[in-house]
Amino acid sequence: MKQKQQWLALVALILLLSLAACGGSPSPAAPVVDEPAAAEVSLEELPKDLDVETVYEIKDNPDVYLIDVREQAEYDEKHIPEINLLPMSTIENRLDEIPSNKTVVITCRSGNRSSQVTDYLRANGFDNVHNMTGGINEWESAGFPVEQ
């Protein structure tokens, strides 16, 4: 019994010392430091495959051109606002509609078709073309806006 009382006294003392150490006088407020601005994404250094966050960051740049390669019915269900529709089945006959002086981002539903189109375009002389991985599914899951 005496051992139990000693044990409880020790625990109480440790608790009391812990509380005292946490109390004390408040420290002066830390200086407010402005957060550094998010680094602007360089269009010249983009990898072939882009995540949806990167595409969201660059989509409003006037030197970026977004292409959705799904079919019209899929596009009508939901799409990224202001994206250009150029179905995969029509790419071969519409190469002249793809700007060569802009950074082009290709997207689809999941990233499969857009990856294929990106590879096709790169094999046909477009070195400014990038695939958005995850497609509209990942875009929407990330909370980015879609239109119907």
Measured torsion, CA atoms of residues 91, 94, 97, 103, in degrees rounded to the nearest 10: 30
- Residue 24: predicted pLDDT: 43
- Residue 21: predicted pLDDT: 41
Starting at the earlier edge strand, list the strands of the sheet with 84-85.
Answer: 49-50, 129-132, 103-107, 64-68, 84-85
- Residue 42: predicted pLDDT: 87
- Residue 3: predicted pLDDT: 52
Q: What are phi and psi of 33, to 5 degrees?
A: -115, 125
CA distance 50 to 136: 13
CA distance 1 to 76: 78
Residue 68 DSSP label: E
- Residue 29: predicted pLDDT: 47
- Residue 39: predicted pLDDT: 56
**For the domain bounded by 45-141, which CATH number is listed?**
3.40.250.10
pLDDT 10s digit of each residue in the chain, 148 long? 555 455 444 444 444 434 344 444 444 444 444 444 445 778 988 999 999 999 999 999 999 999 999 999 999 999 999 999 999 999 999 999 999 999 999 999 999 999 999 999 999 999 999 999 999 999 999 999 999 9
Active site residues: 108
